[in-house]
């Protein structure tokens, strides 16, 4: 306690070694996300994400979260082991505001979305 002001004193903090400081932002880290369009077969659908069209709206993630996720660049990527139904995947593609997700029926080879 400070005898002149009757206020408790904060304990002294040790000096900080700058080499021990870690930041959460690590610039220039390599990314493992795809650099081009990604195409995966899920059930009877061939699902393609066109990275150049994706704006990261995440509507696909909201509808089909086990199929789509956003990567470090806020671009949609297709996840392995999707448990979403084909109908949910189609709805996710239809919800994309830029039509960055293309769905092809592998049995007929017809593009279902975008029409």
> What total of structural domains would you count in the chain?
1
Give the domain extent around 101.
Answer: 37-113
63 lies in some domain: yes
User: What pLDDT, in 10s, does the model give residues 8-33?
Assistant: 665 555 555 545 443 333 333 333 55
* Residue 54: CATH number of its domain: 3.30.70.20
31 lies in some domain: no
7 lies in some domain: no
Per DSSP bridges, beta strands 110-113 and 101-105 are: antiparallel
27 lies in some domain: no
52 lies in some domain: yes
User: What pLDDT, in 10s, does the model give residues 52-78?
Assistant: 999 999 999 999 999 999 999 999 999
47 lies in some domain: yes
24 lies in some domain: no
């Amino acid at each position: 306690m400070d005898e002149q002001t009757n206020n408790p004193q904060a304990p002294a903090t040790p000096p900080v070694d700058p080499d021990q400081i870690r930041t959460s932002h690590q610039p220039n880290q390599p990314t493992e996300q795809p650099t081009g369009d990604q195409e995966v077969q899920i059930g009877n659908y061939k699902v393609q994400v066109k990275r150049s069209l994706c704006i990261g709206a995440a509507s696909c993630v909201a509808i089909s979260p086990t199929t789509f996720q956003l990567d470090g660049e806020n671009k949609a990527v297709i996840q392995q082991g999707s448990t979403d139904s084909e109908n949910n995947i189609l709805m996710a593609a239809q919800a994309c505001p830029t039509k960055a997700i293309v769905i092809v029926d592998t049995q007929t080879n017809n593009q279902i979305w975008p029409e």
